[in-house]
Structure 1
Amino acid sequence: MTTAADIMHPGARWVPATETLDRAAQLMRELDVGALPVSDPNDPNERMCGIITDRDIVVGCVAAGRDPSRVTAGDLCEGTPRWVSADADVNEVLREMETHQIRRLPVIDENKRLVGVISETDLAHHLSDDQLAEFVEQVYA
């Protein structure tokens, strides 16, 4: 059985909700990623309160005429964050991403700690052509 841990990109990093978007963008560049899970710094367990993407920064901040050095990651987080357990079956991963039409899915361990992120690229490397086609149809519909 293929699990989330088998297909995820390991070593994901949090960005605190209080971090400015310019710093979040710099971290994305350093890590060569397009999204970062956002943690709640008021939670002693640093639980996820959202995810921020490079597109969120451009569209929700820069294009709106806002200053990324004054807007925080928490300011742009919306909705309920989604994640999957590291031992989740790949079908559960697909179901979660397809149901919620998301392209990146944080992966947590049994202690609720972030251990990785699954992206479309990760799926492309591990799914059959039929599974990948189904995913694309559901997420981009």
Structure 2
Amino acid sequence: MKVSEAMTRDVCVASPDDTLEQAACMMADLDAGVLPIGSNDRLVGMLTDRDIAVRGVAQGKGPQTTVKEVMSPEVKYCYEDDDLDEVAQNMGDIRVRRLPVLNRDKRLVGIVSLGDIATHHNEPQAGQALGGISRPGGQHSQRMDA
């Protein structure tokens, strides 16, 4: 099965110049914990609710702080025509619960999550990926100065 058969297609994209308050409201409206960040029709980062908490609030940054100050600029992604089993394995290896999905022109076309994998394809594969994501990891790297 290909990623395109399981991914979520309707994806809201925030701007790096949006405020954390705007991004958090978008997340609340979507009932989502992640937002792709786009600029000039390109994916430039990802913002999670954890980024807001750890890189924003915990560092004393307020709701008017821009998304670009706390987003993760290094984006892990997959392609819509990738094999879903391989992507699920990779998600476990790189310890992420969601990946943006790009077409071969590197344009955002969706997001694939462990939930998408479990409901559309292979519950055991999603569980195996979650096991990889959830394994103890030693020191964490959420700090901006780490």
More divergent stretch after superposition (4-13 vs 107-116): 107-116
The partner residue of 1:107 within 101, 107, 118 is 101
Q: Deviations over 1:22-46 (max 9, x none)?
A: 001111122222101112x3xx4x3
User: For residue 18 of structure 2, what is the aligned residue in structure 1?
Assistant: 19
- Unaligned runs of 5+ residues in structure 1 are none
User: For residue 35 of structure 1, what is the aligned residue in structure 2?
Assistant: 34
User: For residue 119 of structure 1, what is the aligned residue in structure 2?
Assistant: 113
TM-score by length of 2: 0.82
CA distance in 1, matches of 2:34, 2:95: 15
Q: Does 1:87 align with 2:81?
A: yes
The partner residue of 1:49 within 44, 49, 69 is 44
Q: How far did 1:4 drift?
A: 0.9
User: For residue 5 of structure 1, what is the aligned residue in structure 2?
Assistant: 4
User: For residue 135 of structure 1, what is the aligned residue in structure 2?
Assistant: 129
Secondary structure in 2 matching 1:130: helix
TM-score by length of 1: 0.85
CA distance in 1, matches of 2:126, 2:115: 10
The count of aligned residue pairs is 135
Judge conservation of contact 1:13–1:114 (CA < 8 Å) in 2: no
User: For residue 66 of structure 2, what is the aligned residue in structure 1?
Assistant: 72
Instruction: Give aligned-pair identity as a percent.
Output: 33
Name segments (4+ residues, structure 1) moved above 4 Å.
none
CA distance in 1, matches of 2:80, 2:132: 23
